[in-house]
A and B are shown apart, each in its own frame.
Chain A
Amino acid sequence: MSKVLLEIQGLRKQYGTVEVLKGVDCTMREGEVISIIGSSGSGKTTMLRCINMLEEFQGGHIRLEGEEIGYEHSGSSRKRKSEKDIARQRALTGMAFQQFNLFPHMTAAHNVMLGLVKVKKMSRDEARAVAEKWLDRVGLASRADHYPGQLSGGQQQRVAIARAIAMSPRLMLFDEVTSALDPELVGEVLQVIKGLAADGMSMLLVTHEMRFAYEVSSRVIFMNQGVICEEGDPKEMFVRPKTERLAEFLKTSSFN
């Protein structure tokens, strides 16, 4: 069995008095592709965003390759790591967003190059070569010098994935990356993700594409009301859900 990549223990998160994550435990091994499913408000996106500290959390631990993410613990007290440390840790994971979030004043290539130059301290030539390689991988070599506003939603999302993956992250996080896309553009983005899975990239995907989750995931996590309600092999889970909740959810979702 491959080694442990990500360890989440007792993760708790609240907004004001509302508890969104009520103690999530999860272990992920290198090369795993895990889909997180669940109705909206179940905490799946929040959990994803805690992993790269886009959300602060109030309790529990997240460890990436054994390194504690976000907070220093000493005894029972904890304190947020320095901005510099957190930035370094964030570069270990890549993230693609529902709204793409490309930098609109930069070409596709420059979007990909920014992190390579500023974070990885590559020369511009080196960064350009890496950016072109990844844009080619997502099928957009010919669009390298186009601005986001000149690309379709599907193309923008593929650039956003290239931007994240070019940083050679240890783990990729996908947050409902096809939800904002027109139906006919969903396929091209899922194709790219499938390709990355085939390369052995470790990935955590929050998704509403049940068919896709079924096909591509090595494991599926079903979240409900801030906890993991059921998890397992998709071939098993989707066909024979163990909990009532999951059975209910699958009935209302697009699977089948």
Chain B
Amino acid sequence: MGYTLNFAAVWRSFDQLLEGLALSLGLAFISILIGALFGLLVAFALIAKSGWVQRPAATYVTIIRNLPILVLVLFAYFALPQMGVRLGKIESFVAVLSIYSGAYLAEVFRAGLLSIPKGLTEAGLAIGLTPLQIRVSIIAPLMFRNVLPSLSSTVISLFKDTSLAAAIAVPELTFEARKINVESFRVIETWIVASGLYVATCSVLAALMRVAERRLAVPR
């Protein structure tokens, strides 16, 4: 192969890649935060006895989980304005990733909720706590600890989904890499470096989640 690797062009634009990565992380952080709060409410709805509460939540999860996120991204950015809802690129993507992560996190949380013994709720009721107080002080904290191991892969997956924002020209990591690729013609080098940044970031995220898991573990 007559190709010599030359990273000079990529290093010259490395700052752009880092800015892109920072934006990727920012998009993921805000979306997952909103998605987690929303997903928690949906998870409680999913295990509700009342069909009026349970069914809309189940419908939401089914629809979102059966749509490719790229379709959602394009729909929100191109189709919604036609229907009178005009959002900026970033706002539109954050909205999509929040709704998308909400559905996935709701499923993760639901599994965590089901593993909490009913007796703990009864113990809470017996000392006079209201159902809401029990959810806030007992169920949610325990559920969160239960799901931390599976939360890690969901969070990493959602972080990687930020690359789809490139499709609507949000200047995150993948978008910046494509720009450098086009400007420098250093195709292999650009994507090697971009890939390295994704892998490194995901590894750090996974390590952070493991630390959280250890520190929050219920002592025994």
Interface membership of A23, Cβ < 8 A: no
Interface membership of A103, Cβ < 8 A: yes
Determine whether the beta carbon of A91 is less than 8 Å from that of B122: no
Could you tell me the distance between the alpha carbons of A99 and B138 in the complex, rounded to whole angstroms?
Answer: 17
Interface membership of B123, Cβ < 8 A: yes
Could you tell me the distance between the alpha carbons of A91 and B130 in the complex, rounded to whole angstroms?
Answer: 10
**Complex A-B: 10 CB contacts under 8 Å:** A87-B130, A90-B125, A91-B128, A103-B123, A104-B218, A105-B218, A114-B124, A115-B128, A115-B129, A118-B133
Could you tell me the distance between the alpha carbons of A91 and B127 in the complex, rounded to whole angstroms?
Answer: 5
Select which of A94, A97, A167 is within 8 A of B119 by beta carbon. A97
How distant is B127 from chain A, measured CB to nearest CB, in Å? 4
How distant is B132 from chain A, measured CB to nearest CB, in Å? 9
Select which of B126, B130, B141 is within 8 A of A84 by beta carbon. B130
Determine whether the beta carbon of B125 is less than 8 Å from that of A54: yes
Interface size on A, residues (CB 8 A): 30
- Dominant secondary structure of chain B at its interface with chain A: helix
Measured CB to CB, the residues of B under 8 A from A are 117, 119-120, 122-131, 133, 137-138, 141-142, 145, 218-220
Q: Which residues of B contact A91 (CB under 8 A)?
A: 127-128
Could you tell me the distance between the alpha carbons of A102 and B122 in the complex, rounded to whole angstroms?
Answer: 10
Measured CB to CB, the residues of A under 8 A from B are 52-54, 83-84, 87-88, 90-91, 93-95, 97, 99, 101-105, 114-115, 118-119, 147, 149-150, 160, 163-164, 167
Q: Which residues of A contact B141 (CB under 8 A)?
A: 105
Determine whether the beta carbon of A119 is less than 8 Å from that of B127: yes
